[in-house]
Amino acid sequence: MQPYRPLGTLYAASALRAAGFSVALFDTMLRNPEREFSAFFTECNPRIVAIYEDDFNFLTKMCLSRMREVAWHIAEVAKDKAVPVIVHGSDATDHPELFLSHGIDYVLRGEAERTLVEVCSILRTGTQTGNIAGLVHLDSAGKLVLSEPALSMNPDWVSLPQPPNDLTDFEAYRQAWGNAHGYFSVNMTASRGCPFRCNWCAKPISGNKFHLRSAAAVAEEMRQLKADKGVQHIWFSDDVFALDRHWVQEFATEVTARHAAVPFKIQSRADLMTDQTVAALKAAGCAEVWMGVESGSQKILDAMDKGLQTSMIEDARSRLREANIRACYFLQFGYPGEGWKELQETIALVRITRPDDIGISFSYPLPGTVFHERVQAQLGLKRNWADSDDLCILFEAEYTTDFYRRVRQALHAEVDTWSMADAISNDDTANIDRLWEEVFALEPASKTSNSSIQTHVSLGKIGQPVGFISLRELIPTAGV
């Protein structure tokens, strides 16, 4: 229960307003489209419907069946009234023909704010559609028309007016956050895109381009949200925050000058967490850093083209701990080549460095990635998750989906107890021991036909191959 406003959609609305269009927003984060969109459509009576995904939410990179169903339902409502429909998003960028076959008139690929304005202007004036970058549609004969270049780029995004506040129901978000967590969090973004080349990460919108807003503009937006909306916490949804160390230092200065600091969390990389950057983040109010750790195995990090050493993860964890900033890890299980030894190395890294939290997903072959190309021949009929909780392996990994789920459950449960300190009970300890015992018992029988021969050992308290170590024995290593 952590709802956030659709930033990418709101930036598109900002671009349309700047061009003289009136805009209404149906926020699917707060409202059910199957039950409520039809009445909203009747109330607004729009001349154009734009289904514009939030590019700043990483879940939109996944081709989720649930999101497709929502898009097609919205399109069906609009087409019943003969209203043209435009769609933009990662899935539509990867599969434009699929969306055009479900009542969509135009697909916008790439950084589409400017393209959206162009297409809406053409629809308003009734002129012919020319070669607009990133546009896909069908001609009068039903033939697919692909504009060049295939992806539109919009470096001017950094100069767009900030997301319009009147299109967001802040009170509804405040109530949801207050009821679930006791404080009010709102999302922001300081940059768009990522220049790193991890081979499993899809970049259908910005490619490897990276656009960074001015430090002053970001700090001022923070101040306004704090002063005008009573925001108590901010999530920066950037793919990679703190890429430019000079910008981070300038940002800390601007935030301090405006008295704009509120606790915030970011997504970043371990190798960016230098002493200077951590100090600047702390000064600006950073409370939590989620790092794309992915694996504790150097072999797997290298296979991912991650450009990261495990020692960098350990160093980043240490620096963030010293600054009293929560350090959290994104991990993924199932990447090709990850056997039992590599999984144990990941578990060992987590136990040695003791992050404040972890988030575990399974390797997911996203269209357009090197990883997808490598495993494409292994994909079956199911090529995407139904929703973000699906968590199944879609290719021929070393182990079954159920086994990865068991390891995920055990590691999450163990990490969750670390915050309990002396409050951990015998029942908690027994439960963790039971979960790990189930993992070790299940491992030999969970190998797939793709598995290589491994040496099977239990994981000790610092990742050494010794007999099974109970959670109670691990507790004294909290300071490691």
Residue 479 has pLDDT above 50, yes or no: no
- CATH code of the domain covering residue 42: 3.40.50
Q: Quote the tokens at residue 41.
A: 């459509």
Contact criterion met (CB below 8 Å) for 331 and 353:
no
Burial 70-92 (b: 16+ CB within 10 A, else e): bbbbbbebbbeeebbbbbbbbbb
DSSP states of 162-198:
PPPGGGS-HHHHHHHHHHHHSS-EEEE-SEEE-----
How far, in Å, CA of 172 to CA of 231, rounded?
13
Report the pLDDT value the prediction gives residue 457, as an integer from 0 to 100: 40
Reported as a single tens digit per residue, the pLDDT across 136-191 is 999 999 999 999 999 999 999 999 999 999 999 999 999 999 999 999 999 999 99
pLDDT confidence bin for 332, thresholds 50/70/90: very high
Q: Has residue 167 been placed in a domain?
A: no
Reported as a single tens digit per residue, the pLDDT across 53-73 is 999 987 787 878 889 999 999
Report the pLDDT value the prediction gives residue 480, as an integer from 0 to 100: 33
Q: Has residue 378 been placed in a domain?
A: yes
Report the pLDDT value the prediction gives residue 452, as an integer from 0 to 100: 55
Overall domain count for the chain: 2
Q: Has residue 162 been placed in a domain?
A: no
Q: Has residue 169 been placed in a domain?
A: no
Residue 44 has pLDDT above 80, yes or no: yes
Q: Determine the structural domain holding residue 52 and report its residue range.
A: 7-155
> Helix (H, G, I), strand (E, B), or coil: what is residue 363?
coil
Report the pLDDT value the prediction gives residue 388, as an integer from 0 to 100: 82
Whether the predicted model's global pTM rises above the 0.95 cut:
no
Instruction: Report CA-CA distances (Å) from 207 to 110, 188, 195, 202.
Output: 8, 21, 8, 8
Report the pLDDT value the prediction gives residue 456, as an integer from 0 to 100: 41
**Residue entry with tokens 């935030």:** 255
Q: Has residue 2 been placed in a domain?
A: no
Reported as a single tens digit per residue, the pLDDT across 313-327 is 999 999 999 999 999
Report the pLDDT value the prediction gives residue 446, as an integer from 0 to 100: 97
Q: Has residue 398 been placed in a domain?
A: yes
- CATH code of the domain covering residue 255: 3.80.30.20
Reported as a single tens digit per residue, the pLDDT across 123-137 is 999 988 889 999 999
Reported as a single tens digit per residue, the pLDDT across 219-269 is 999 999 999 999 999 999 999 999 999 999 999 999 999 999 999 999 999
Percent of the chain exceeding pLDDT 90 equals 84
Q: Smallest Cα–Cα separation from 361: which of 320, 325, 401?
A: 401
Q: Quote the tokens at residue 264.
A: 């915030």
Average pLDDT over residues 402-420: 95
Reported as a single tens digit per residue, the pLDDT across 440-476 is 999 999 999 776 544 444 444 333 333 344 444 443 3
Q: Has residue 294 been placed in a domain?
A: yes
